[in-house]
A and B are shown apart, each in its own frame.
Chain A
Amino acid sequence: MSERIVIDPVTRIEGHLKIEVEINNGVVTDAWSSGTLFRGIETILKGREPEEAWLLTQRLCGVCTYIHGVSSVRSVENALGLSVPQNARLVRNLLTGGLYVHDHPVHFYHLSALDWVDIVSALSASPAATESLAYSLSPNAPAIDFAATQVDLRSFVDSGKLGPFAGGYWGHSAYTLSPEENLLFAAHYLHALRQQVKAGRMHAIFGGKNPHVQSLRVGGVTCKDEITSSRISQFRNILNEMRHFIDTIYLPDVQHLATAYPDWAGIGGFKNYLAFGEFQMSDSDPGELFLPCGVIMNKNIDQIEDVMLGQINEHVQHSWYEGNTARYPQNGETVPNYTGYDTADRYSWLKAPRYNGQPMEVGPLARVLVAYGLGQPQVVAAVDQFLNAANLTIADMHSTMGRAAARAIETKVIADQMGAWLDQLKRGATAMVSTSIPATASGFGLNEAPRGALGHWINIEGGKIGNYQMVVPSTWNLGPRCASGDRGPVEEALIGTPVVDAEKPIEILRIVHSYDPCIACAVHVTDNDRDSHYIVKAV
C-alpha cells in the first residue's frame, strides 16, 4: 500500500522546487523537499564594494524584491555603527510595508487560490446568487459584474485555449466550494490581478521602480527631495485604496475560505516558530519594532523567548554540499558537491538551518503568533476579530489555513499602520548620513521578508566584501533534514495529510503553497576560502 509520488515542478511558487512524499493507505507518512536551483550569489559578492552589495542581493529575489536590499544596507550600517535619519527609517518602513501589501494578496489569489477554487465549476454558477453571496460576505466591497466574468471564463474555456488554467485538478473531490463561491473567487482573482499593479506603485513612488527599487543607500535613502506633498498624497491614495481592498475583499475572502474548509485548520501545521521582527519604530533604538521578535517552541505561545542568534546553525548532511558539520552562518564553510538526488542521503540545494537544534517555521504565522503571544495590540485585535468571524480558536492557527489567515491579518495590521509613517515624513529633511567604509568590520542586518525571518551577515576585509552570508525564510521552511535526521518544517507539516488521489495530490500543494516557497532566495552558497575550488561530481 506504500507508494511514492513526486511533484516536480511545484508551480505557483518562486523558483524551482521538487516535493516527494510517501503515501500509506491514503495518508502521507514521509516527505522530502528539494530545491533544484543553485546560483552562487554569495561567492559573486566577494571582493566587491560593501556599499553596492545591496544592488546584488536585491536580485536574490524579484518576488520579495527590496527586502534583500534593505537587509544588506542594514548589515553594512551595523558594521559601521550607523543609524539612519528618521525620514530614511520611515521610507524604508513604507517600502517594506508596500511589499507586504503587494505580496500577500498576490500569494493568496494568484499562487494559492487555485488549490481551493475550481475555475471550471464557476461556469455553472448563478451570477445573481453570486452577487447575493458577495453582498452577504462583504456589503462594502466594490461592485463586480459576475455575469460578465462568467461569460469571459466561458468564452475562454470554449476557445480551447485555457492558458494558465489548463491542467488543473478541476473536478477533484477536494474542491468543495459551491459554483457561486468559485465564481466569486474567480472574479476576485482577476480583480486582485489589477489591484496588485497599483500596490506595486507604492514601491515605485519612493523606489524609482518596482520590482527592484533603486533608492537605497548605505546610510539612508536617496529619495530625499522626492518626498513632496504630491508624492505623499499619491502614495496615500494608493494605500487607502489597498486598505479598502484588504478590508472588503481580501480579509473577507480568507475568512470565508477558512469557514468553507474547516478541516484545513487542523491539517499541515507545525510547532516551532521564529521571528526576527520588523518595522523600526525608533530612531535611537533599532530594537523597538512594530512587529516584535521572538521564539515559540512546541506551540507554546504563552512563553515567547528572546531570539539568540548564536543558536542558529546550518546543517548540510542532506544537502549537496561538502561535509557534515553544522555551522553558525558567520562561520559557514560550504562547497557544492552534487551527488544526485537520493532521499536516503543528499537531496537538496537548500541547507537545513536549525535554532537550538530544532527546525523552525518562519513567516506570517510565526510573526503573528509571536506578536499575539506578546500582546501586540493591533495584532491581538485583528487575530481575535478574524478567529471570531471564522469560528476558529487560536489553537487552530497552527495549520495550513492558519498561514493564510496570518498573512491576511498582518497585511491589514501593516497597511493600517502605514498612514502613520506617511504622516511622520518631513519634507526636505535629511534622509542620509555620509559613510566611509573601514578596512575591517563586520555586521549583520535582520528583518522580516513577507515569507519570514531574514538575516544577512557581512565581513568587510580590506575595505571590500570578505565574506557575505544570508539565511533566508524559505531555507528555514523548505530545507531538508538536518544532521540528526529530523525533517524540515514543510516535510514535517506534510506528515499525516490525507491524499485522496495520488495522481492529483492537491492536498500536498495546499500545504506546500501555504509556506509561499521562494527558492531563488533559499539556495545559495557561502565560502570562506577565496581560493577554494569547487569539487562537483557529475551524476
Chain B
Amino acid sequence: MADTLKKTLDPQLNRRGFIKGCTMAAAALGLSETMVPKLVEAATSAQRPPVVWLHFQECTGCTETLLRASHPDLARLLLDVISLDYHETVMAAAGHQAEQLLHDTIKNHEGKFLLIVEGGIPLAEDGIYCKIAGKTAKDILAEVAPKSAAVIAIGACAAFGGIQAAKPNPTGAVGVRDLVTDKPVINISGCPFNPISLLGTILHYLTFNRLPELDSLGRPLFAYGRRIHDHCERRAHFDEGRFVEQFGDDFHKQGYCLYKVGCKGPETFANCPSVRFNNVDVWPVSVGHGCVGCTEPNFWDTMTPFYDRLPNVSIPATGIVEDADSVGRKVLGVTAAAIGIHAAVGVGKRLVKGKGKSEE
C-alpha cells in the first residue's frame, strides 16, 4: 500500500515525507535516530488502530490543525496509520448512520480504540448546552470513554475546559480529566495544539504500546517539558535587558524581547519555539507577538490581560528575582517613568500592569 500511495500523492516525496515525520517525532520524543525505522514500521503496520474523535464545546480549530499536519499529512494518516472510524467533521455518514458507526466502533473494539476528545464538556443544567443526537456531551463521554483503551484530550478545551470555561464559565465547562478517572487521559494542550505533539504521542503509543511520560498536568513531557522562555530565540535580548516597551516602537523593530508587552513565555511550557508551526518556521513570537500561554490550564483567566507583563520573573545568571523595569533601566537607561510603566497588581493578582496610570 505504501508503495502505491507514494505514486498517488507527490511522487517520491510522500514516503520520504513520512520518514521525515517519524524522524521529527523521534527527535521530539527524545529518541535516538536508530528508532526511526521502528516508528515507521509501527505506524505502517496495516493494523490501523481504530480512533474515535468526539467533538463537544469547541471551535473545530483542533480538527483544522489535524488537517494541517504534513508529516504525515491527513491523507496518509487516514490511509496508512489509523482507522478514523468516527469524526463528525470529515465522515461521510450523517444522522443515525453516524450514530450507528459510533455504537459499532465502541462495541467491536471495546478496550482497544483510542478516544480523542476535542472540546470542553458543559456540566451546568445537567449538560443541556451541548447535545449530539439528543444526548448530552457528558453522557456521550461517560458512555464512550470507559470502553476506550486511552483518551487523548486534544487542545485547550478538552484538556482544561478552554475558552468556554473562562470566567464566569456560563455553561459550567470542564476538561476530560475532570470526568474520566478510570482511563489514562493524556492532555495535548494548546489553542490549538501542535500536530507534532499528537503525532509523537500516537507513534509512541503504536511503537511501545504505552503512552509517553506525562507531567503533573497530564501533558507529555517530550512536548511540554520545557519553558517557552528557556528556548526562545529572543532570550538573549531578555538576558541583556533589551525589551520592546510598546508595540511598534524601535525596540519592536529590532526584534527585542516581548516580555514587557505581555509575553507569557516565562510561565508557559511548550515546544513552540523549537518545532514551530505549519512548516514555515514561524510561531507567534517570530511575528512580533508575545506568547499568550495557551498550553497552560485556564490561561484565559490566569494569563490575562494578555498585554500586561508577568511579575517577578527571575533574571538568569544573577539568580535574583528582579523587576524587569529595573533591568531595562540599568541596561538601556530607559526609565520606568519615561515610559509610564508602574508595577501594580492587575486582574487575577498574578499580573503587573504594563501600561496605564499609577493609581491602577
Write the residues of chain A forming the contact surface with B, with a CB cutoff of 8 angstroms.
Answer: 6-16, 36-41, 43-44, 48-49, 51-52, 55-56, 59-63, 65, 106, 110-111, 114, 119, 144-145, 148-149, 151-152, 155-156, 159, 161, 163-169, 187, 190-191, 193-194, 196-197, 200-201, 203-212, 214-215, 217, 219-220, 222-226, 234, 336, 338, 349, 428, 430-434, 504-505, 509, 520, 525, 534, 536, 538-539
Write the residues of chain B forming the contact surface with A, with a CB cutoff of 8 angstroms.
Answer: 1, 4-5, 7-11, 46, 48, 50, 55, 57-65, 67-70, 73-75, 78-79, 82-85, 87-95, 97-101, 122, 124-126, 128-134, 162-164, 166-171, 173, 191-192, 246-248, 252-253, 255, 277-280, 282-289, 292, 300, 304-307
**Smallest distance from the beta carbon of A419 to chain B beta carbons, Å?**
19
Could you say which of A206, A208, A504 contacts B283, with CB atoms under 8 Å apart? A208
Residues from chain A with a CB closer than 8 A to the CB of B64 are 62-63, 65, 200, 211
Residues from chain B with a CB closer than 8 A to the CB of A40 are 129, 164, 170-171
- A40-B170, A196-B68 known; 15 other A-B pairs, CB under 8 Å? A9-B94, A9-B99, A14-B59, A49-B306, A62-B59, A65-B64, A111-B89, A145-B8, A166-B91, A167-B100, A167-B101, A190-B9, A225-B288, A434-B246, A538-B125
Query: Is A164 in contact with B92, judged by CB distance below 8 angstroms?
Result: yes
State A212–B277 Cα separation when bound (angstroms): 11
State A15–B132 Cα separation when bound (angstroms): 10
Query: Is B60 in contact with A52, judged by CB distance below 8 angstroms?
Result: no
Query: Is B289 in contact with A215, judged by CB distance below 8 angstroms?
Result: yes
Q: Interface centre among B94, B171, B246, by most A CB within 10 Å? A: B94
Query: Is B68 in contact with A197, judged by CB distance below 8 angstroms?
Result: yes
Q: Interface centre among B11, B91, B283, B306, by most A CB within 10 Å? A: B91
* Minimum CB distance partner of B61 in chain A: A62
Q: Interface centre among A203, A212, A225, by most B CB within 10 Å? A: A212
Query: Is A59 in contact with B59, judged by CB distance below 8 angstroms?
Result: yes
State A163–B53 Cα separation when bound (angstroms): 11
Query: Is B253 in contact with A224, judged by CB distance below 8 angstroms?
Result: yes
Residues from chain B with a CB closer than 8 A to the CB of A8 are 95, 132-134
Query: Is A36 in contact with B67, judged by CB distance below 8 angstroms?
Result: no
Q: Interface centre among B85, B169, B278, by most A CB within 10 Å? A: B278
Query: Is B277 in contact with A204, judged by CB distance below 8 angstroms?
Result: yes
* Minimum CB distance partner of B288 in chain A: A222
Could you list some 9 contacts between A and B, CB below 8 A? A39-B57, A55-B306, A62-B58, A156-B79, A164-B78, A197-B69, A201-B279, A226-B287, A538-B126
**Smallest distance from the beta carbon of B92 to chain A beta carbons, Å?**
3
State A8–B5 Cα separation when bound (angstroms): 35
Q: Interface centre among A8, A156, A217, by most B CB within 10 Å? A: A8
Could you say which of B75, B88, B164, B300 contacts A190, with CB atoms under 8 Å apart? B75
Given contacts A110-B90, A214-B287, contact A9 B9 (CB under 8 A): no
Query: Is B292 in contact with A55, judged by CB distance below 8 angstroms?
Result: yes
**Smallest distance from the beta carbon of B110 to chain A beta carbons, Å?**
16
Q: Interface centre among B59, B74, B289, B307, by most A CB within 10 Å? A: B59
* Minimum CB distance partner of B285 in chain A: A208
State A248–B79 Cα separation when bound (angstroms): 26
Residues from chain B with a CB closer than 8 A to the CB of A7 are 94-95
Query: Is A220 in contact with B67, judged by CB distance below 8 angstroms?
Result: no
Could you say which of A36, A151, A215, A434 contacts B284, with CB atoms under 8 Å apart? A215
Residues from chain A with a CB closer than 8 A to the CB of B167 are 44
Query: Is A214 in contact with B284, judged by CB distance below 8 angstroms?
Result: yes
Query: Is B59 in contact with A61, judged by CB distance below 8 angstroms?
Result: yes
Query: Is A223 in contact with B163, judged by CB distance below 8 angstroms?
Result: no
State A198–B46 Cα separation when bound (angstroms): 27
7 closest pairs, A vs B, by CB?
Answer: A62-B61, A167-B93, A40-B170, A168-B92, A204-B278, A222-B288, A214-B284
State A203–B61 Cα separation when bound (angstroms): 14
Query: Is B130 in contact with A16, judged by CB distance below 8 angstroms?
Result: yes
* Minimum CB distance partner of B195 in chain A: A197
Query: Is B84 in contact with A191, judged by CB distance below 8 angstroms?
Result: no
* Minimum CB distance partner of B294 in chain A: A212
State A84–B50 Cα separation when bound (angstroms): 49
**Smallest distance from the beta carbon of A128 to chain B beta carbons, Å?**
16
Query: Is B67 in contact with A12, judged by CB distance below 8 angstroms?
Result: no
State A179–B98 Cα separation when bound (angstroms): 25
Query: Is B60 in contact with A225, judged by CB distance below 8 angstroms?
Result: no
State A106–B90 Cα separation when bound (angstroms): 10
State A442–B205 Cα separation when bound (angstroms): 52
Could you say which of A165, A191, A208 contacts B282, with CB atoms under 8 Å apart? A208
Query: Is B98 in contact with A9, judged by CB distance below 8 angstroms?
Result: yes
State A7–B83 Cα separation when bound (angstroms): 24
Given contacts A40-B164, A194-B9, contact A12 B132 (CB under 8 A): no
* Minimum CB distance partner of B278 in chain A: A204
Query: Is B131 in contact with A16, judged by CB distance below 8 angstroms?
Result: yes
Residues from chain A with a CB closer than 8 A to the CB of B166 are 44, 56
Could you say which of B69, B125, B287 contacts A536, with CB atoms under 8 Å apart? B125
Residues from chain B with a CB closer than 8 A to the CB of A163 are 48, 78, 82-85
Residues from chain B with a CB closer than 8 A to the CB of A432 are 247-248
Residues from chain B with a CB closer than 8 A to the CB of A11 are 88-89, 91-94, 98
Query: Is B73 in contact with A197, judged by CB distance below 8 angstroms?
Result: yes
Residues from chain B with a CB closer than 8 A to the CB of A509 are 94
* Minimum CB distance partner of B62 in chain A: A62
**Smallest distance from the beta carbon of B18 to chain A beta carbons, Å?**
13
Query: Is B248 in contact with A536, judged by CB distance below 8 angstroms?
Result: no
Could you say which of B4, B50, B67, B97 contacts A161, with CB atoms under 8 Å apart? B50
Residues from chain A with a CB closer than 8 A to the CB of B287 are 206-208, 214-215, 222-223, 226
**Smallest distance from the beta carbon of A67 to chain B beta carbons, Å?**
12
Could you say which of A111, A144, A211, A220 contacts B68, with CB atoms under 8 Å apart? A211
Residues from chain A with a CB closer than 8 A to the CB of B9 are 190-191, 194
**Smallest distance from the beta carbon of A51 to chain B beta carbons, Å?**
6
* Minimum CB distance partner of B165 in chain A: A44
Could you say which of A161, A191, A428, A431 contacts B248, with CB atoms under 8 Å apart? A431
